Chains A and B, each alone.
Chain A
Amino acid sequence: MTTTATAPAIEVRGLEKSFQDLPVLRGVDLDVARGSIVALLGSNGAGKTTLVRILATLLRADAGTARVHGFDVATRAADVRGSFSLTGQFAAVDELLTGRENLLLVARLRHLPDPAAVADELLARFALTDAARRRASTYSGGMRRRLDLAMSLIGDPPVILLDEPTTGLDPVARLEVWRTIRELAGGGTTVLLTTQHLEEAEQLADRIAVLHQGVIIANGTLAQLKALLPPATVEYVEKQPSLEDVFLAIVGDPDPAARPTPTGR
């Protein structure tokens, strides 16, 4: 599909974007290697969503270049759209349609030969088969996000852009999303996700890029970023389970392997 098999899946150079007089991106450089998970970390207003929207061909940059799957977002927008899927901050599902109809809709719009088979397979994979014929408006936040992710996977796009994929989710649903993201990357999909939760970046990402005031101020593996700090001092503290640990323990953690279990159970 592309001639640049060894090039990064996402390549951003000197990207700038202002809204009126407010500069949001001020020269962003970022590479995302094929098959890796990169977390774009930043506080609210750091420009994460703006960067994702430019990559998703929903917004035009003022300066600089961005390539997705080897295609320039400005000049090859149609090819870019064929190469990625976006899951935005708010689960963009059609509330009046059932879960299955939502999947069928996207499969038809991606012009797949057998939309029904694709929909049923994804319903099973995302544990939505029982809810398949219910309207999405009746879904819980976690189910809605799962449906949203399932819709993004239709057509097996080589690149997935996730803008704050776990915002507004309870801890159980968040672990489910994390597991899905790991499976995706395990299958060779490139994932760029934005988050403001440090733990999310730590848990998922191969590399972490910190976007602050419109520029990437740090970029590396977790170990590399940790090395930026002065050497760790050793302190002995009593380990109390966090409220989150307690919550997950009493509601039943669906994926205990995803996180270290405290001893307080």
Chain B
Amino acid sequence: MPGHFLGDTVTLTMRSLRHVRRSPDTIITTAVMPIAFLLLFVYVFGGAIEEDTGTDSYVTYLLPGILLMTVASGVAYTAFRLFLDLKGGIFERFQSMPIARPSVLWAHVLTSMVANAVAVAVVVTVALVMGFRSGAGVLAWLAVAGILTLFTLALTWLAVVPGLTAKSPDGAIGFSYPLLFLPFLSSAFVPTDTMPGPVRAFAEHQPVTSIVDAIRALFAQQPVGNDLWTALAWCVGLLVVAYLLATACYRRIVV
């Protein structure tokens, strides 16, 4: 009954947003680790790094990469919530009811978008307190929001894959660990110039660097150049691949 798609998606999204509201710890734990890295790198390593990066505000330099880490840790809960729905049998209850079946997945995706937006807002607020400043105008902020939204959507669909296929809670969230590690091998913490050849080659050709550089340029009101297009290409490419993988997994468990 495709006619109910919108209504059913809204009903199911309200349900899982209620889950998020009733376990606010999921938002806090999502934000805690990126904030810990923010504190560690700004107040412990920051002084030494500032001289090399040539920025007078390391927190401003660091924030884009930290925001990507926030999303990477947030989507682990998306996989976890989906896993619990399957394990608890409520997923099958929904599938056996006369509803628009894709709504069940889309509700989790929309919930992920909202929960991650809240976590990102929390991290940005902490960064502001720590001295993050940007003279970026409304358009630049909208562009940053757009990139982060696209990135979150891509990682969310990626999270659907372990959410649908995992056999244990650890299996459901394990995929996020490599994602959390990627910013370290990028321009998120330090410029790539001083990295040894192969590491630098990897760092400069993986998605985090181009996304971080694009957001950083937007915050600094500098021309974004090709970074923006590379970043968008990575996000869209990842989104398409993740979506296809997720729907393939979905079709394997749903007749």
Residues on A close to B: CB < 8 A?
56-60, 77-78, 81-82, 84-86, 88-97, 101, 105-106, 108-111, 151
Q: Which of B15, B23, B88, B96 contacts A81 (CB 8 A)?
A: B96
Assess whether B18 is in contact with A101, with CB atoms less than 8 Å apart.
Answer: yes
Is B29 interfacial (CB-CB < 8 Å)?
no
Contacts of B92 in A (CB 8 A): 56, 58, 86, 88, 92
Contacts of A84 in B (CB 8 A): 96
Q: Which of A57, A96, A105 contacts B96 (CB 8 A)?
A: A57
Residues on B close to A: CB < 8 A?
1, 4, 7-8, 11-12, 15, 18-19, 22-23, 88-90, 92-99, 254-255
Assembled-state Cα–Cα distance A86/B90 (Å): 11
| CB-based closest 3 A-B pairs | A92-B89, A82-B98, A92-B93
Assess whether A56 is in contact with B98, with CB atoms less than 8 Å apart.
Answer: no
Given A57-B255, A96-B22: A109 in contact with B90 (beta carbons within 8 A)? no
Centre residue among A77, A84, A96 by max chain B CB count within 10 A: A96
A–B Cβ pairs within 8 angstroms, 9 of them:
A57-B95, A58-B254, A58-B255, A81-B99, A85-B97, A90-B88, A93-B90, A97-B15, A109-B94
Residue of A nearest to B90 (CB): A92
Assess whether B1 is in contact with A96, with CB atoms less than 8 Å apart.
Answer: no
Residue of B nearest to A55 (CB): B96
Assess whether B93 is in contact with A78, with CB atoms less than 8 Å apart.
Answer: no
Contacts of A97 in B (CB 8 A): 15, 18
Q: Which of A60, A89, A151 contacts B93 (CB 8 A)?
A: A151
Q: Which of B19, B88, B96 contacts A56 (CB 8 A)?
A: B96
Assembled-state Cα–Cα distance A215/B4 (Å): 39
Assembled-state Cα–Cα distance A62/B1 (Å): 25
Nearest-neighbour CB distance to chain A for B130, whole angstroms, equals 34
Contacts of B88 in A (CB 8 A): 90, 92, 94-95
Assembled-state Cα–Cα distance A151/B97 (Å): 11
Assembled-state Cα–Cα distance A82/B1 (Å): 10
Assess whether A109 is in contact with B22, with CB atoms less than 8 Å apart.
Answer: no
Assembled-state Cα–Cα distance A22/B194 (Å): 59
Assess whether A106 is in contact with B97, with CB atoms less than 8 Å apart.
Answer: yes
Assess whether A96 is in contact with B19, with CB atoms less than 8 Å apart.
Answer: yes
Residue of A nearest to B84 (CB): A95
Assess whether B255 is in contact with A90, with CB atoms less than 8 Å apart.
Answer: no
